[in-house]
Amino acid sequence: MKALSRAASLRLATGLVMLWLALGVVGLTWREAPPLLVGLGQDGLALVAVLALALMIGVPIGALAGSGPRWIDVGLGFTTDWIAAVPVVLLLAFLRPVGVSAVGELLLLGALRSLEVAWVVRSALLRAAHLDTTWAARSLGYMPLTVFLQQRLPAAAGPALAHLALTPVWTFLLDSVGTAAGLGAATSERGLGALVVRPETSGASAAAAVLAVVALTIALHRLGQHYGLRLARK
């Protein structure tokens, strides 16, 4: 029964992500699409950009910080602490007047998210250090590439995917807080976060937007849990 429920939840999560993507494409391509569909499309584009950057940058940096030279770990800790002292919404508000484009803002959000992912991965690897058969080699400054690719990165995938699953809520809150504060949305003025705080938005549309974000977050968490375990078992 447990296996069946896990398989059903995995299929449901996959279906929810596919439905979000399909509705997002409609919102991006249909000129007269309602604001909710437009918001799904805008958030979908932002999520793809932020998640791709966070995975490509954050996981390798986190794996190196937890397994490689000491200076990488120190540099990651210093940078993460410094960035955490400045709210993202305020950081974007300071950068917009100097001409940062929408694409540049997405790149910045992806870079910031990658630092968080890197710290999560680094912490997970250090917690598992006592079970790592390559720890002695690492402590001597030697890490074969095959060990790094076959053991380090798969072990880091689970925590990274679990953290990245919260990205829809993260971008949604950034957009809603930035719009409500008059600083502008972090990703798009037509995204779901900006939609829910507009005075003209109906209660039903706002509730649907929140439900869509929560459903996508849960679905991504389920998919991340599944594929994270599969990678870790290899």
Average of per-residue pLDDT across 7-19: 90
pLDDT at position 83, please? Answer: 77
For residue 46, the Cα-to-chain-centroid distance in whole angstroms is 10
Q: Are 168 and 47 in contact (CB under 8 A)?
A: yes
User: Is the pLDDT at 159 greater than 60, yes or no?
Assistant: yes
Q: How does pLDDT run across 44-75, given as a tens digit for each residue?
A: 999 999 999 988 888 888 878 877 678 888 88
pLDDT at position 213, please? Answer: 95
What would the two tokens of residue 10 be?
């995995």
pTM (2 d.p.): 0.82
Residue-range domain boundaries for the chain: 2-233
Question: What does R_g of the chain's alpha carbons equal in angstroms?
Answer: 20
Average of per-residue pLDDT across 107-136: 76
Confidence of residue 229 (pLDDT cuts 50, 70, 90): low
Mean pLDDT computed over every residue of the chain: 81
Rounded to 5°, the CA angle 47-52-194 comes to: 15
Confidence of residue 129 (pLDDT cuts 50, 70, 90): low
Rounded to 5°, the CA angle 141-143-148 comes to: 145
Strongest mean pLDDT among 12-26, 83-97, 100-114, 179-193 = 12-26
Domain spanning 2-233 has what CATH number? 1.10.3720.10
- For residues 43 and 174, what is the distance between their CA atoms, to the nearest angstrom? 12
- For residues 116 and 154, what is the distance between their CA atoms, to the nearest angstrom? 18
**% pLDDT > 90, the chain:** 27
